[in-house]
Amino acid sequence: MASIKERVLRAIFDRPLKKGYMVGGYRISHVLGMGSYGMTYAAHHKWTGKVCAVKQLRPTKAKTTAGLRSFHREAELMQLASGVSFPRLYEVIEQDGYHFLIMEFVNGRTFEDLIFEDRRTFSEKETIAVLLELCSIVASLHEQGIYHRDLRIPNILDVNGVLRVIDFGLACYHDDPPEEPDWRYPEKQVMRAVSPTADLYHLGHFSLFLLYSQYKPAEKKERSWEEELNISEELKHILRKMLQIERPFQSIKQLQTSLQHLTYKENSADFMPYSQS
């Protein structure tokens, strides 16, 4: 959580670049999003007109060793991550004291857009289909020795029915040393663990967003998700393990197997993968 001093410094020094600013051969068009470490823009190549995404390390972060280390680590991990499910890194540019990643522009709708802007709803069966697709994507990362650690609804996109995962700003190698614990924020220790369980935990919360998309409260009293969501006991059990309420899954393959078993148990002859739904 940013301190008051950090928020003031961001307001002064971390202002987005103006439209038309040139980063190498790319002209900034507009802001796509802003995170704790970076600001991302849409840009066009000055000769070809090709659209790309430009991620700028916040100037306040560029003044810290940790911020620069995070920037170079993100570039390294993006180059290492292979497959069509992740954006390609084109260039790393340092210019005017700024630090930029030039990468593929993923033209799709985030699940945050789908749920909160498009008002799309996801049934239990559809949620399981999405999760199974994500299991395959995340498994490919884990096989490369990478944990994403930020699998949230703004970082998972639907591109014409195909899922893509963006933002490697918090990703790490499987053999990285654990982060210094901050016992003020116990959930952060779970989310930032150097372990596959971190990605499973994020996917658990991702799933709850999908399932709550069709929830309509019948009463004002707030209850637990297990009481509010009309889902099968089997899926509840899987979610409890993902969220580490019960003994957690230790690998993405274990989650994948449990979800596949659930779809077979339901004998869903009409069950289709998300990419074909």
Give the residue numbers of the binding site. Answer: 55
Could you confirm whether 158 is annotated as catalytic? Answer: no
Distances (CA, A) of 31 to 55, 99, 129, 274: 10, 16, 32, 30
Question: Whose structure tokens read 């899987």?
Answer: 238
Q: How far apart are CA 79 and CA 91, in angstroms?
A: 10
Closest C-alpha to 136, from 188, 84, 198, 171: 84
Distances (CA, A) of 246 to 165, 193, 201, 228: 27, 17, 12, 19
Binding residues for ATP: 55
Amino acid at 117: E
Q: How far apart are CA 207 and CA 152, in angstroms?
A: 10
Contact of 131 with 238, CB cutoff 8 Å: no
Task: Kindly name the residue from 113, 118, 150, 167 that is annotated as catalytic.
Answer: 150
Residues noted as catalytic:
150
